[in-house]
Amino acid sequence: MRIAMVSEHASPLATLGGADAGGQNVHVAALATALARRGHDVRVYTRRDDAALPRSVDFAPGVEVVHVDAGRPEHVAKDDLLPFMPALAEGIAEDWAGWPPDVAHGHFWMSGLATLDAADATADPPAVLQTFHALGVVKRRHQGAADTSPPEREWLEPGVGRGADRVVATCSDEAFELKKLGVPQDRISVIPCGVDLQHFRPDGDTAARGDRPRVLVVGRMVPRKGVGTVIEAISLLAADGVDVELLVVGGGAPAGGTDPELDRLAALVTRFGVADRVELRGQLPQSDLPPVYRSADLVVCAPWYEPFGIVPLEAMACGRPVVASSVGGLIDTVVHGRTGLHVQPRDARAVADAIRELVVDPERAARLGAAGRRRVAARYSWDRVAADTERAYLATLRAPRTAGTAATRGAVR
């Protein structure tokens, strides 16, 4: 099959860990590569954010990244990209004139708009699938006025869900949300994200660490990731005489400026009096992460909400137990009492208690970590995710086209 992926802000070529570069970049890169390994031709369309980028880059065997001109060729925050989607759609449709795809798969709601519009502008349109990676309705519920998404997201995003031939949800929680948005259940497939099991593995080098048990947090540094809660938990443990160190990896400004969230977290570290046991290390390339995961006794993921969460899979792949908020994708991936411990979001006491449970019983922690590795090996390899995605593509190609027109989306505008 010829497969077009559209990922407007999240290029497979980006550096990870900044405010707008994380799981979606990893997902698109790994899924495209794994589909190409199955013999498909994949083009990933992304917005040109640097004038020096060539039109097309060979990313992996069978995978090309195509930079489409849409707005200024420089970094633009993802929440400001909506006005450029018509130009992105036009550029994609032009490319399809010479390379007509069988399937087009949009990633994130704005890419969905561009994908559907490009399909509408194509004489023999591809089947259109959509993965949201995050839903505005959930973001608004948790972030309220702090949500910087454009207001149009509220009606355009459900329109993309209803307009696509099939929506791929990455976890069961997201499938429930999509149903509430009016996406028919028979057009939703649940396929998780995956993890690179060769790269993230329990055996190998271990990063240097101190004598205290090490708690690790990895991710983009944005408030909803709940890193502040983890810092507070460390202070509660210190007050209880439980001595642990916390390493936080991630964060960094796109143009080398300061990162406001890292600054906020640094202030919290000072306020809670835990500067002697918390290190904010900033962004690391993914190639450097496995030894860092292996240097930890446990990994904490304490988001307020989480559409999927690849970090817990990486931690489990490295054989580490995970303390996770019981939200979104983490409900499916982390099994309470078997591969980690679930806690309520925004509850520093609960995070502290869960960390304590694992550091006082290293044998149990090791058991949970080993079970985590077995779980991801059985369910979350990218090869398995790609095979499931291919099945969803084939099922969509066989189904009669029921949607995917601008008129369908116009009805909800």
Residues in contact with ligand UDP by the rule CB under 6 A: 16-17, 22-24, 26, 218-220, 249-250, 283-284, 286, 289, 308-311, 314
When the beta carbons of 18 and 101 are compared against ligand UDP, the nearer one is 18
Residue type, 287: S
When the beta carbons of 21 and 42 are compared against ligand UDP, the nearer one is 21
When the beta carbons of 17 and 163 are compared against ligand UDP, the nearer one is 17
CB of 71 to ligand UDP, least distance (A): 23
What is the distance between the alpha carbons of residues 413 and 410, in angstroms, rounded to a whole number?
Answer: 5
CB of 299 to ligand UDP, least distance (A): 11
Return the sign of the alpha-carbon dihedral for residues 298, 301, 307, 309. negative
CB of 238 to ligand UDP, least distance (A): 25
Pairing mode of beta strands 322-325, 340-343:
parallel
CB of 292 to ligand UDP, least distance (A): 9
CB of 108 to ligand UDP, least distance (A): 11
Are 323 and 358 in contact by the 8 Å Cβ rule? The answer is: yes
Are 231 and 268 in contact by the 8 Å Cβ rule? The answer is: yes
Return the bridge partners of 367, or none: none
When the beta carbons of 47 and 220 are compared against ligand UDP, the nearer one is 220
Residues near 195 by Cβ (< 8 Å), separated by ≥ 6?
Answer: 310, 313, 314, 316, 317, 376, 380, 381, 382
When the beta carbons of 56 and 198 are compared against ligand UDP, the nearer one is 198
When the beta carbons of 42 and 227 are compared against ligand UDP, the nearer one is 227
When the beta carbons of 1 and 137 are compared against ligand UDP, the nearer one is 137
Estimate to the nearest angstrom the gap between the alpha carbon of 398 and the chain centroid: 29
Return the sign of the alpha-carbon dihedral for residues 115, 117, 120, 121. negative
When the beta carbons of 45 and 132 are compared against ligand UDP, the nearer one is 132
When the beta carbons of 112 and 219 are compared against ligand UDP, the nearer one is 219
Neighbours of 285 (CB within 10 A): 9
Q: At what angle do helices 227-239 and 348-359 cross, to 10 degrees?
A: 60
- The H helix count followed by the E strand count for the chain is 15, 14
CB of 369 to ligand UDP, least distance (A): 17
Beta strands in 10-85 (DSSP E): 41-47, 56-60, 63-68
Half-sphere exposure of 198 (CA within 13 A, CB side): 3
Order the strands of the 298-301 sheet from edge to edge: 278-282, 245-249, 214-218, 298-301, 322-325, 340-343
CB of 92 to ligand UDP, least distance (A): 23
What is the distance between the alpha carbons of residues 91 and 85, in angstroms, rounded to a whole number?
Answer: 10
Residues near 75 by Cβ (< 8 Å), separated by ≥ 6?
Answer: 49, 50, 254, 255
When the beta carbons of 185 and 287 are compared against ligand UDP, the nearer one is 287
Neighbours of 142 (CB within 10 A): 16
The residue nearest ligand UDP at its CB is 22
The percent of the chain in helix, strand and coil, each rounded to the nearest 5, is 45, 15, 40
When the beta carbons of 149 and 396 are compared against ligand UDP, the nearer one is 149
8-state DSSP, 349: H
